[in-house]
Structure 1
Amino acid sequence: MSQAEIVKPAIAAARKPEGPWRRFFVDFFASKLAVVGLILLTVTVVAAVFAPWIAPQNPFDIGTLDIMDSKLPPGSESGDGTMRYLLGTDGQARDLFSAILYGLRTSLMVAGISVFFAFAIGATVGLIAAYFGGKLDALLMRIVDIQLSFPAILVALMLLAILGKGVDKVIIALIVVQWAYFARAARGAALVERNKEYVEAARCMSLCWWRILWRHLLPNCMPPLIVIATIDLAHAIALEATLSFLGVGVPVTEPSLGMLISNGFEFLLSGRYWISFFPGIALAIAIIGINLVGDHLRDVLNPRNAN
């Protein structure tokens, strides 16, 4: 066998992507839907983060609003001719383009914070249930079953009826309705991992249970939890918008896509479609972008697809 025949397989093996995250980036551009999702998600995040610098108006600064500019169609100029409203204005004379940017900012913040804490709480409960088993496992999983037996929107409505309106109240409600999904997924993954050699070795070394959970079990249970977190992020954005649309979520003084859609709903029959239409499009773009990226991430982290 020649030297070239020996070296070529070694080079090919070295170039072969290993690991789900490297495969995610290597195969990303092979999926057109994943690329579209990344573009939509990037646009959404950039628009939300840089909203104070991109928006031509602070739509929630009452001093800058002129009631004479209310319900202007897209492309209209302000009464004094100093500003052009690209997407028109709503019933409160707010520039819709600016309001949408600030609404995206609120929606992503509420969804991101709620998913983070739901992830932390749910993963902790699921890992503890799987690791200790027995009566503790049965008790915790019955609580999870009870939580999952109720529709998320119903639980959120009940909580907000008690807590009242506010961004912090919406975050609390979303955490309560989401943590059980992470608990169920973490328990299922941890049950597969808890009897493997590395966990037994950690036990033999007399490591603390919490250290075994966080340093050994959790890293090996992350793939399904990351996928659920991605899906739940889109779900949280939609749920927050729904709650705000119903008038029980974010107060009217705070920017929210759901509140913007609700404000324009009463004007639909009068032909002023843009007040609800453009915030609805922005909401759809955010949710679709996250879901497309999440679908690709799910395919990459699926062990059946591993090379």
Structure 2
Amino acid sequence: MATRLADIAAKAGVSQATVSRVINAKPGVSDDSRDNVLEAITSLGMPLERLQRNGTRLVAIITPDLSNPIFPEYITSLTTLLAQRGFLVIVCTYTPSGTSEDGYLAMLQNQPLSAAIFLAGKYDTKDTGLSTYRSLSERNIPSAFLNGAARDMNGLYAGTDDKTAMTMALRHLRDLGHRNIGLLLGDKNHYPTILKYQAAQQFFLDEHILHNEEMTAWTTYGVESGQMAARALIERGATAIACASDQLALGAVKATSSLGLSIPKDISVTGYDDSPAMRYMSPSLTTVRQPVDKICQSTVNGLMAMMDNKKLANRRDVLLFEPELIVRESTGRCSSR
């Protein structure tokens, strides 16, 4: 290793200590020196990953609590792909009563991270500060942000096309004869929710379907909150409800049952995510599937490219993937109630 460090240092015109700091993603190196070292490594034919100290390369996945079943699906796919490439994954799960997202990022400041992946976070909410995330960029740590709108900071943004997803669900309900369609959405300041709402408004406009604001319910993501909001939509005359998540859709199913109505005879319901259990519930849920494996594969490929070329980490890239409508038993022809 000493000879290799010396070769790289001589080629880059820096000290061996500087080479070591670059290899191990340590702060305290100027952008020019870092670029010179990386170029020297490349020109000498020495893959950066083989020079990582002790062969241990860490990637942190920062995620909210795993009550949303789509998050474990993402984590499983990401950890599998990263392990195949020799990375050790740290999963940091934050909850309202536990360590916060900021708290985990503070703890990770002194860790030799190769990359960081966020499944959700403050970045996907309007009017939130980004300084915590920028601390990773300042350390030249490649970062990926999944399923949130691209913000004004460097990183790879990958996720499902939310506008297309909502349009798919609404077109399906329209084709079944529904016109009184309720929207069951998440927080008003949540970017993915905003995109779904904008797509719905455009769809109703294009299809000349009257949609009053009282037929849109904004709530927190969860089965219980979805049940309460869906009940109000049904009482206002909705014959179908397009939901922003499978959890909200489960709440809509429970609300329908509590009112003595049946699915899909009286109410049709669509979800979003295609969580693993949705095909097994009764009635099985019509939902829009996120292409989780494609998103994860592209995310890992993008992070590998950023690790090999730090200049790629100092820009913003956006990858949107086409969702798929999965038609099951929870939707049917509109009938008068």
Is TM more than 0.5 here?
no
The answer to which structure has the higher helix fraction is 1
The answer to which structure has the higher strand fraction is 2
Instruction: State the TM-score, normalizing by the size of structure 1.
Output: 0.27
Pick 1 or 2: higher relative contact order, CA cutoff 8 A, min separation 6: 1
